[in-house]
Chains A and B, each alone.
Chain A
Amino acid sequence: MKRGGLGTVFGLPTLLTVLIVMSVLGFASLSVMTTAAQHRGVLRSLDLMEESYAALADAQTQYLELTTEFEALVENLGEGVDQSAMITSWAQTNGLTLDPSTSTVTLLVTTDSLSVKTVLWISPTHTLDNVRLLAQTLTIDNDQDYTQDGDPIWKGPQ
């Protein structure tokens, strides 16, 4: 091919086309991949949210059933009567973890990846305010060991 004139641009349309096609399709593909990832992320967070509400509802139902059962159990006791034996028996029957030193009972509800820990304080002697909810904690079990580093985001006061 001769140098100069139209001959030098021979092949240029192909080259430009390849470049334009690659960049346009590249940007379009990246755009689709980004929004697809964003969409998947939203759906995953919705799944997690649904599971957490289901776990909390389950824990709440069990907590209310257990407290109702306990109140029925100690209903006839007079005020100030020691109910420690009844607490132990009630906790054992329902598979609850009892800490007699603090008079607290722990109820653990687990789902596929979440667990809800409910801590209740039970009065050792019979009163009008027999059961009190101390804490309800929802944790995600992602098989990650945080015991060495603590919270991976906030490591707490150093």
Chain B
Amino acid sequence: MKPRQLQFFLLEFTLSLVILSVALVVALNLFAVSARQHTEALALRTLSQTLVQEAEWLRHPESDWDLRYPEALTTTTYDQKGSLSENAVYTITVMRTITGNLETATLTLIEEDTVRLTLEVIREVTP
């Protein structure tokens, strides 16, 4: 191989390495975005399931609201993976109101500052 050919080969090799490194960095970033979205979707799914379970419990005519939710507003916080934690990424609030003969509960799932799900449950006040 002539020295000129070797120079071209080395230049090509170096350029290839640079391009490969850039591509790998971009790919790693894309995988990180993907992993973050996956975690978020899983957490949203788990917490929305929790919210629906609570809503169905509240909807049941024999549920004692005072027992599980003694306060008018109950707040529970969850971490990034949807586990109970004081480091709040997700927040579930349950607000109870009584208007006339109607008991209303509003359950809200909040992700940081975005409201993701609001469920409203209405039940007749049983004497």
Q: Does A25 sit at the interface, judged by CB under 8 A?
A: yes
Residues of A contacting B37 in the complex (Cβ-Cβ under 8 angstroms) = 32, 35-36, 38-39
Q: List 19 A-B contacts (CB under 8 A).
A: A6-B5, A17-B16, A17-B19, A24-B27, A31-B34, A32-B30, A35-B34, A38-B38, A42-B41, A42-B44, A46-B116, A49-B48, A50-B119, A53-B121, A57-B122, A60-B123, A64-B101, A64-B122, A68-B101
B122-A61 in contact (CB<8A):
yes
Contact of A20 among B20, B44, B48, B52 (CB under 8 A): B20
Within 8 A of A (CB), among B16-69: 16-17, 19-20, 23-24, 26-28, 30-31, 33-35, 37-38, 40-41, 44-45, 48, 52, 55
| Contacts A1-B5, A39-B37 known; 7 new A-B pairs at CB < 8 A | A10-B5, A11-B12, A25-B30, A41-B41, A46-B48, A46-B117, A50-B117
Q: Does B84 sit at the interface, judged by CB under 8 A?
A: no
Residues of B contacting A39 in the complex (Cβ-Cβ under 8 angstroms) = 37, 40-41
For chain B, the bracket of interface size reads: 35 or more
Q: Does A34 sit at the interface, judged by CB under 8 A?
A: yes
A61-B102 in contact (CB<8A):
yes
Q: Contact flags (1/0) for A1-18 with B, using CB distance below 8 Å?
A: 110011101110110110
